[in-house]
C-alpha cells in the first residue's frame, strides 16, 4: 500500500493520516468547500475538494470520493467513522474500483449493519438480546403492536447506523407516531436509510462495548471492554477502560460473546460489539459497529496497540501478530469528547471561528484534534472538535490526570463541553464509578457554567480577538500568529 485516501474529515481523518505516515504511506484528504481551511487538509500529502458543504454533495458523494482516489493514484480508502464508513454499497464500489477498503467484508457489513439482522445473528450465536422487533421498516401500526407486547418505555432506533442518530425514547403510545417520524427522518438524513426498529428500554443500564479484531486467516481476538455510559441525547461523551462494573468472569463472558457474533458474520478488521448491562450483571446484545469507534483511543492506551495500523495491515492480508493470551489490560484510560456545543442550552451545536486552541501535554495525555487557531467550525457536520485521553496506572490516577489536562485544554470562539467535563470527571458520583446512561440527567440536569469561569472565558476570548487583529491603527503590520490569550491578558482579578 503506497497511497491512502481518507474518506472523512476532522480529528479522525488526522488520526488515520498520522499512522499512515508512520507506515510510509502517502495520504490524500477529501474536503468540502466549507472545510478548505481544516486541519485534516493541511495534514494530508494531497487534498481534493469533492463538493459543497452539504454532506450529500461532498462526504456522502461516493462518485466524487472514488474519482478523487482514482485521480490521485490511491491504492486504498479508509472511511473513518460516520459518513460512508458503515455503508456496504460504498465498500462494494471501492472494491469494484480495484481499491482496498480498510474495513470488514461487504457481506459482514450488510448483516451487522442492519441492526435487526444483527439481532438475529446474536440469537443464533446464543447471545442474549434486548426484547424488540426483528425486522426493519415496520409501519407505525406494527411498531405500536410490538410496543404493547413488550411494554413501555421503548426505544426507536435506526436500522442502518448508530451514534445516537435516529434514536427516540417513547414512554407511551400517544408519543409513538410523532417519535417514529422524527427518528426515521433523522436516520435517513444521517445514513440514507430511514428504516427503524424498536427495543425495550432498560432502566439505568450501563453501556459496555467490546473491541474485536480479526484477520482474513481466521484469527479473531477481543481487546477487552470500554464503558460508554455517560451520554447525552443517546450519544457518548465520556468513555473509559476498564469498566468499573466488570468482574474478570463477566469480562471473559462478554469478550467470548463478542467474538461469537463476529465469527457468525464472517467478520474481519476492527469492529465493536455493543452491550447493555443491567443492575444485576446481565448483559444484552445491542449492535455491532462495523468500523473504527470514536472512543478507540482508550483501548489503544490500555492494551498498547495502534488499531489503525492493524486495520491497514489486516487489509493488506497480514495475519494478526498476537493471540488472545498475549493481550492484557494495563492501567486505566478515560476519554472526553470535546464538542462545539453549549451544554447549558441542551447541548445545541455551535458554529464559529476558533480564536485560540491550546493543546494539553504531559505524561499519559493524548489529544486527538481536528482544529487549529483561526479555523471555522461549520454547521453542516457532527460538532466533535477533538478527543482528550488520559491514562494512569489506576483509575484515580487517570481521573486526576484528566482533570489537569482538561484545565490545560483551551478552545475559544465557540461554546464547548470542556467545563462540563471538568465537573463530571471531578464529581463524587463519577469517582464512585456509579455510571449509567442516565448519569447526566440524574446528576447534572441543572448544570450551568460557573459565573467565574464564564467571566474568565469572556476576557480570554476578548484578548484572543484583539490579538488576531492583523494591523495596528496606524497601518503597521502585525503578526497573524495568535499568541496565548493568557499571555496577552495582562493583570486582572475577579474583584
Distance CA 81, CA 296 (A): 11
Please say if 171 is a catalytic residue: no
Residue 110: count other Cβ atoms within 10 Å of its Cβ: 17
Distance CA 10, CA 371 (A): 7
SS3 state of residue 26 = strand
Spell out the residues 6+ positions from residue 212 whose beta carbon is closer than 8 angstroms to its own: 220, 221, 222, 223, 258, 259, 262, 267, 270, 271, 272, 273
Q: Which of 404, 450, 399, 407 is nearest to 429 (CA)?
A: 399
Assigned C-alpha cell, 133: 422487533
Options 291, 337, 366, 401, the catalytic residue = 291
Residue whose grid cell is 469533492: 50
CA distances from 8 to 77, 185, 381, 395 (A): 10, 23, 11, 33
Cβ-based burial of 92 (10 A; exposed 0-12, middle 13-18, buried ≥19) = middle
**Cα pseudo-dihedral 277, 385, 382, 6, rounded to 10:** -100
Assigned C-alpha cell, 371: 482544529
232-237 own/partner pairs: CB under 8 Å, 24+ apart = 232/343, 232/347, 232/440, 233/164, 233/347, 234/164, 234/167, 234/437, 235/163, 235/164, 236/164, 236/207, 236/294, 236/295, 236/337, 237/336, 237/337, 237/339, 237/417, 237/421
DSSP state of 202: P
Residues noted as catalytic? 291
Amino acid at each position: 500500500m503506497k497511497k491512502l485516501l481518507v474518506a472523512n474529515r476532522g480529528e479522525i481523518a488526522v488520526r488515520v493520516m498520522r499512522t499512515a505516515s508512520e507506515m510510509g504511506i502517502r495520504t490524500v484528504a477529501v474536503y468540502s468547500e466549507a472545510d478548505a481551511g481544516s486541519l485534516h487538509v493541511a495534514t494530508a500529502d494531497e487534498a481534493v475538494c469533492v463538493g459543497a458543504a452539504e454532506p450529500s454533495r461532498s462526504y456522502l458523494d461516493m462518485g466524487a470520493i472514488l474519482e478523487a482516489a482514482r485521480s490521485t493514484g490511491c491504492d486504498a480508502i479508509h472511511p473513518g467513522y460516520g459518513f460512508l464508513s458503515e455503508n456496504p454499497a460504498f465498500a462494494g464500489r471501492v472494491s469494484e474500483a480495484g481499491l482496498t477498503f480498510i474495513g470488514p467484508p461487504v457481506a459482514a457489513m450488510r448483516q451487522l449493519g442492519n441492526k435487526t439482522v444483527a439481532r438475529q445473528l446474536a440469537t443464533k450465536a446464543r447471545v442474549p438480546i434486548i426484547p424488540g422487533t426483528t425486522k426493519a421498516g415496520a409501519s407505525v401500526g406494527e411498531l405500536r403492536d410490538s410496543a404493547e407486547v413488550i411494554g413501555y418505555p421503548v426505544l426507536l432506533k435506526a436500522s442502518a447506523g448508530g451514534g445516537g442518530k435516529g434514536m427516540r425514547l417513547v414512554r407511551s403510545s400517544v408519543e409513538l407516531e410523532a417519535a417514529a417520524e422524527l427518528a426515521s427522518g433523522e436516520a435517513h438524513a444521517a445514513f440514507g436509510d430511514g428504516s427503524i426498529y424498536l427495543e425495550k428500554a432498560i432502566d439505568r443500564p450501563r453501556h459496555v462495548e467490546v473491541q474485536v479484531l480479526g484477520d482474513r486467516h481466521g484469527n479473531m481476538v477481543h481487546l477487552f471492554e470500554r464503558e460508554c455510559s455517560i451520554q447525552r441525547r443517546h450519544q457518548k461523551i465520556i468513555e473509559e477502560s476498564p469498566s468499573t462494573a466488570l468482574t474478570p468472569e463477566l469480562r471473559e463472558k462478554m469478550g467470548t460473546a463478542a467474538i461469537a457474533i463476529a465469527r457468525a458474520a464472517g467478520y474481519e478488521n476492527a469492529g465493536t460489539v455493543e452491550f447493555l448491562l443491567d443492575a444485576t450483571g446481565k448483559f444484552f446484545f445491542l449492535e455491532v459497529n462495523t468500523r473504527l469507534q470514536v472512543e478507540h483511543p482508550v483501548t489503544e492506551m490500555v492494551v498498547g496497540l495502534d488499531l489503525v495500523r492493524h486495520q491497514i495491515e489486516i487489509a493488506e492480508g497480514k495475519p494478526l501478530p498476537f493471540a488472545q493470551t498475549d493481550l492484557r489490560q494495563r492501567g486505566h484510560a478515560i476519554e472526553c469528547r470535546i464538542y462545539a456545543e453549549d451544554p447549558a442550552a441542551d447541548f445545541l451545536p455551535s458554529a464559529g471561528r476558533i480564536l485560540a486552541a491550546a493543546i494539553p501535554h504531559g505524561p499519559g495525555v493524548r489529544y486527538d484534534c481536528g482544529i487549529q487557531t483561526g479555523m471555522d467550525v461549520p454547521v453542516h457536520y457532527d460538532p466533535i472538535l477533538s478527543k482528550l485521553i488520559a491514562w494512569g496506572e489506576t483509575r484515580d490516577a487517570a481521573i486526576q490526570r484528566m482533570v489537569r489536562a482538561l484545565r490545560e485544554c483551551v478552545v475559544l470562539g465557540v461554546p464547548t463541553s470542556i467545563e462540563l467535563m471538568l465537573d463530571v470527571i471531578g464529581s463524587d458520583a463519577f469517582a464512585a464509578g456509579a455510571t449509567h446512561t442516565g448519569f447526566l440527567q440524574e446528576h447534572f440536569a441543572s448544570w450551568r457554567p460557573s459565573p467565574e469561569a464564564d467571566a474568565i472565558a469572556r476576557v480570554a476570548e476578548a484578548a484572543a480577538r484583539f490579538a488576531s487583529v492583523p494591523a495596528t491603527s496606524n497601518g503597521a503590520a502585525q503578526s497573524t500568529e495568535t499568541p496565548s490569550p493568557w499571555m496577552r491578558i495582562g493583570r486582572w482579578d475577579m474583584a
